[in-house]
């Protein structure tokens, strides 16, 4: 939802009042002036795109929360990217994915990671045990100390989440 003229004025005021503070706050936490500047800009961009502006009293805590979430997203992406690049590092040259394929694979891995992160704990555990460990529902039920029907419900929720990721666009 794009910002209105009033929203633009609010954003401008927030930027003027808090950009310097936010950049300094990030610099202390990240230890890198340029990275802090980038995250501060991304924070205000996220705020602009959301169209939701905090009240005067909550401005700094709201901006800090957005910035923290952006940093967490960046760390998560870097961790996933490192793991992926490590996994393909020893492939022979003809089997190495193109840069375009790598970008698409990384984006898919990020979507999967986000999907898994949003799942309730037992749903995520059941899904991982089923899909990555190859366990059957009875084995999963035993490990999670729940009934097989609970595992069926967990898997239904997990599959629905996968479907939403796949067809969300």
Per residue, the 3-state secondary structure of 36-72, as one string, reads HHHHHHHHHHHHHHHCCCCCHHHHHHHHHHHHHHHHH
Per-residue pLDDT band at 5 (split at 50, 70, 90) = low
Residues 47 and 67 reside in one and the same domain: yes
Tell me the CATH number at 132: 1.10.10.10
Structural domain boundaries, residue 124: 99-167
Q: How far apart are CA 167 and CA 1, in angstroms?
A: 22
On whether both 58 and 19 belong to a single domain, the answer is yes
State pTM to two decimals: 0.62
The predicted structure's pLDDT at residue 91: 79
Domain count, the chain: 2
Q: State whether 9 and 86 are in the same domain.
A: yes
Q: Give the residue, 166 or 145, on which the prediction is more confident.
A: 145
């Amino acid at each position: 939802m794009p910002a209105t003229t009033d929203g633009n004025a609010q954003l401008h005021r927030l930027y003027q009042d808090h950009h310097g503070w936010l950049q300094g706050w990030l610099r202390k936490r990240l230890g890198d002036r340029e990275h802090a500047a980038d995250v501060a800009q991304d924070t205000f961009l996220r705020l602009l795109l959301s169209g939701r502006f905090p009240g005067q009293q909550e401005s700094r805590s709201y901006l800090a929360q957005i910035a923290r979430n952006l940093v967490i997203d960046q760390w998560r992406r870097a961790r996933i990217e490192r793991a992926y690049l490590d996994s393909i590092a020893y492939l022979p040259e003809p089997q190495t994915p193109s840069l375009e394929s790598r970008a698409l694979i990384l984006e898919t891995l990020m979507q999967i990671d986000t999907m898994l992160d949003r799942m309730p704990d037992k749903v995520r555990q059941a899904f991982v045990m089923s899909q990555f460990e190859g366990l059957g529902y009875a084995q999963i039920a035993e490990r999670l100390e729940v009934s097989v029907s609970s595992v069926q419900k967990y898997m239904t929720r997990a599959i629905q989440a996968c479907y939403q990721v796949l067809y969300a666009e």
